[in-house]
Amino acid sequence: MKLSRRLIPDVTTLQAFECAARHGSFTQAAHELNLTQSAVSRQIKDLEEQLGVLLFERVRQRVVLSDDGRRFLPEVRKLLHQTEETMLRAMASASSEHSLSIATLPTFGSRWLTPRIPGFLAEHPGTIINIASRSAPFDFDEENFDLAIHYGQPVWARAACSYLCSEEILPAASPELLKAWSPSEPKDLEAAPLLHLATRPKLWAQWFDLNGGSADTAYRGHRFDQFSMVIESAVAGLGFALLPKYLIEQELAHGRLAVVFDRPMETENSYYLVVPEGKLENPLSQAFRAWIARQVP
With a pLDDT cut of 70, the percent of the chain lying above it is 95
Residues 6+ apart with CB under 8 A from 240: 171, 172, 173, 177, 181, 189, 192, 193, 194, 195, 234, 260
The answer to whether residue 173 scores a pLDDT higher than 50 is yes
| 166-268 has the same fold as 99-165+270-295 | yes
Query: Each residue of 145-168: pLDDT tens digit?
Result: 999 999 999 999 999 999 999 999
Q: Taking the CA atoms of 85, 89, 94 and 95 in sequence, report the sign of the dihedral they define.
A: positive
pLDDT of residue 92: 58
pLDDT of residue 1: 47
- Fold of the domain spanning 166-268: D-Maltodextrin-Binding Protein; domain 2 (3.40.190)
CB atoms within 10 A of CB 293: 13
pLDDT of residue 138: 94
CB atoms within 10 A of CB 251: 19
Taking Cα atoms as reference points, which of 55, 174, 119 lies closest to residue 296? 119
Architecture of domain 11-94: Orthogonal Bundle (1.10)
Note the pTM of the prediction, 2 decimals: 0.72
Q: How many Å apart are CA 120 and CA 100, to the nearest integer?
A: 11
* Residue pair 273/149 in contact by the 8 Å Cβ criterion: yes
Give the residue extent of every domain in the chain: 11-94, 99-165+270-295, 166-268
- Provide the CATH number for the domain formed by 99-165+270-295 in this structure: 3.40.190.10
pLDDT of residue 6: 66
pLDDT of residue 97: 59
Give the bridge partners for 58, in sequence order: 63
